[in-house]
């Protein structure tokens, strides 16, 4: 079992940025990642300063290459367990599926999210291509085109909110509620934004040369350049819960790890970063928040180092 200052679980933008910041602070870091980032189906990553629409794989490969000068070990594996060790100060033993074992003074959970898509045939097939979720990530590329916002059955208010947001990119937005009825206030707001509404059930989403067709239950096909969807988001890993970290119980961030302003969880020595703590973060926001977490970890470890050194001097 090898020693490290920090084990980071998850190697998308948040985990990699935390590793970079800690590596530059001359900390010994092990980053364990199973190669399943949330955005892997996407064709491109947009709205990331300094990056000209790389694929997700290209962005992560570039980020990993930046870690080469530092004491950062990258491991392709999935963490199976993290066991706290009582030793006066927080210590942890980390085990991975393929047999790797590491000890760490601190843990960073950057395991991220997974998306639950509307159960409409064709949505998952074109997910990440012409079916997407985030207007801030993909709206510019289809600006001024005929767009659809597909709701998720049972979440009509979310569909209204997303369609209103999407109306800033196009004056031709259709909200498909997939069978949900909308209240008067929602309809009034949509009308004010110029968003039209179809409440019929959607039978399928089918591709054609210039975009996608939303095929309704009666067979009517409505052509759109791209389809934006409402998703339910779930944490990819239950490691935080198994460690005893406090989770957010209600609201839009339900299920996320509850942290303070610098990423400390309720368990000493365990930190969390990226969409693990805030599902609304864009990729660049997740990286920025992870950098803040990493600088706080370095400061906390430095305090431990000084206390230990002071004790040795006085003894």
102 with 245, same domain: the answer is yes
108 with 239, same domain: the answer is yes
- Answer whether residue 90 shows pLDDT above 80: no
204 with 159, same domain: the answer is yes
- Answer whether residue 91 shows pLDDT above 70: yes
What's residue 196's pLDDT? 98
- Answer whether residue 37 shows pLDDT above 80: yes
Q: What pLDDT, in 10s, does the model give residues 248-282?
A: 998 888 899 999 999 999 999 999 999 999 999 99
Q: What is the mean pLDDT of the chain?
A: 94
Among the candidates 184, 208, 229, a domain finishes at 229
Q: What pLDDT, in 10s, does the model give residues 93-128?
A: 999 999 999 999 999 999 999 999 999 999 999 999
> How far apart are alpha carbons 62 and 56 in whole angstroms?
10
- Answer whether residue 313 shows pLDDT above 80: no
Looking at the 3D structure of the chain, how many domains does it have?
2
49 with 142, same domain: the answer is no
Q: What pLDDT, in 10s, does the model give residues 282-291?
A: 999 999 999 9
Domain limits at 270?
2-114+233-314
41 with 133, same domain: the answer is no
* Res. 299 pLDDT band, cuts 50 70 90: very high
189 with 47, same domain: the answer is no
CB atoms within 10 A of CB 181: 10
What's residue 57's pLDDT? 94
- Answer whether residue 40 shows pLDDT above 90: no
Among the candidates 196, 229, 262, a domain finishes at 229
Q: What pLDDT, in 10s, does the model give residues 167-201?
A: 999 999 999 999 999 999 999 999 999 999 999 99
The mean pLDDT value for 18-43 works out to 94
182 with 216, same domain: the answer is yes
Q: What pLDDT, in 10s, does the model give residues 200-210?
A: 999 999 998 88
What's residue 208's pLDDT? 87
What's residue 244's pLDDT? 96
288 with 300, same domain: the answer is yes
Q: What percent of the chain has pLDDT over 70?
A: 97
28 with 62, same domain: the answer is yes
């Amino acid at each position: 079992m090898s020693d490290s200052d920090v084990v980071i679980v998850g190697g998308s933008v948040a985990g990699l940025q935390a590793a970079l910041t800690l590596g530059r602070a001359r900390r010994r870091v092990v980053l364990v990642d199973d190669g399943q980032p949330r955005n892997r189906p996407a064709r491109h990553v947009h709205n990331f300063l300094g990056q000209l629409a790389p694929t997700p794989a290209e962005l992560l490969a570039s980020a990993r290459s930046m870690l080469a000068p530092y004491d950062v070990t990258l491991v392709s594996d999935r963490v199976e367990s993290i066991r706290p060790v009582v030793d006066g100060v927080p210590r942890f033993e980390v085990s991975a599926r393929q047999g790797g074992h590491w000890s760490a003074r601190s843990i960073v959970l950057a395991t991220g999210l997974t998306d639950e898509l509307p159960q409409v045939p064709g949505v998952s097939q074109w997910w990440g291509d012409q079916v997407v979720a985030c207007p801030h990530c993909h709206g510019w590329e289809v600006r001024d085109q005929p767009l659809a916002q597909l709701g998720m059955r049972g979440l009509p208010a979310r569909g209204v909110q997303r369609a209103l947001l999407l109306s800033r990119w196009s004056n031709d937005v259709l909200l498909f509620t997939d069978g949900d009825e909308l209240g008067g206030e929602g309809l009034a707001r949509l009308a004010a934004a110029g968003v039209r509404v179809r409440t019929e059930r959607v039978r399928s989403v089918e591709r054609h040369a210039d975009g996608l067709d939303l095929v309704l239950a009666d067979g009517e096909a409505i052509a759109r350049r791209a389809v934006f969807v409402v998703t339910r988001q779930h944490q990819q890993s239950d490691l935080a819960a198994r460690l005893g970290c406090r989770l957010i119980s209600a609201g839009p961030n339900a299920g996320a790890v509850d942290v303070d302003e610098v990423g400390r969880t309720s368990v000493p020595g365990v930190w969390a970063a990226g969409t693990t703590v805030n599902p609304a973060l864009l990729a660049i926001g997740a990286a920025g928040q992870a950098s803040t977490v990493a600088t706080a970890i370095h400061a906390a470890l430095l305090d431990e180092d000084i206390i230990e050194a002071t004790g040795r001097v006085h003894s």
